[in-house]
Amino acid sequence: MKYKRLIGFLIAQILFAGAGFAQQTVVINDPTVKSETVPVRTAGEDLIKRDVLPKARKYWAKNEACDEDFQIMGEVSGAFSKPRSNQRLVFYQFCQTGNGFGNNGLVLIENGKIVGSYVSESGWAIDLKVLPDINQNGLNEFLLYYSGGMHQGQGGTGVDLMEFSAALSVKGLGWFQSDSYGEETGDWSYKVSVKPGKTPVFYREKYISKNDKLQKSGKPAAFKLGKAYSSYTALK
């Protein structure tokens, strides 16, 4: 009887600890959930084509490898440069310049006007996601997803965690790999969570693809972000 009570107590403690972990963390990258790409509203796209693209063409005019192929890759809403504001952030790809390389842009819009436009020579743009102020400074952070192309039969997706500074510049907070695919190491993904705070703590849990299904491989473990991959400059 005492043995059964001890087992019951230990199971309850494990379940409690798991529930506590779930309550304290926020999932920011989940390979088990398919994201739906929401197209930018026509008014926003027209605004970018009118006020941003002419400057972007001039900025990258000397890059012979840049054959313009403008595409909106993501659009999110949040308070990005001012607390409690209602802003829109648009991520677009201007062109691809090589295997895993591309010229991209970010546009910050508020009240139907562009308040910031930025460009970067980085990777193949894939997606944009908004985060719920994980460093508790009153602003929404965001994730930029890039493909690194295929190299010797291996590829993957890298993610930059970014936010806007008080001076309206784009600030890189870190980088993590969200997935890998190829013949040598197989296909795998990371479920990434974060415990919000002035110094956020990040966790990841690996999933392996078998028979077109994702299966857990191990338990959540804390990890440190790498240095942000992309760097954005104000487009004037």
- Banded model confidence at residue 35, pLDDT cuts 50, 70, 90: low
C-alpha 3, offset from chain centre? 48
Strands 101-110 and 221-223 turn out to be: unpaired
In the predicted model, is pLDDT for residue 165 greater than 90? Answer: yes
Global pTM reads 0.86
What is the dihedral sign for C-alpha 147, 73, 159, 167?
positive
Domain boundaries, the chain: 36-230
Q: What confidence score (pLDDT) does residue 101 get?
A: 95
pLDDT at 181: 87
Distances (CA, A) of 42 to 38, 90, 191, 196, 205: 12, 12, 33, 35, 38
Q: Which of 15-29, 100-114, 128-142, 200-214 has the lowest mean pLDDT?
A: 15-29
Give the dihedral sign, CA 114/119/125/126: negative
**Any bridge partners for residue 162, and if so which?**
142, 172
Q: Does 18 or 93 have the greater pLDDT score?
A: 93
Say what the pLDDT of residue 36 is. Answer: 61
Write down the pLDDT at residue 151: 62
pLDDT at 53 over 50: yes
Q: What tens digit of pLDDT does each residue of 186-232 get?
A: 789 999 999 999 999 999 999 998 877 889 998 899 999 999 999 99
For residue 50, the model assigns a pLDDT of 95
Reported as a single tens digit per residue, the pLDDT across 146-158 is 998 666 667 889 9
Euclidean distance between CA atoms 93 and 123, whole angstroms: 9
The predicted pLDDT at position 102 comes to 96
Average predicted confidence (pLDDT) for the chain: 87
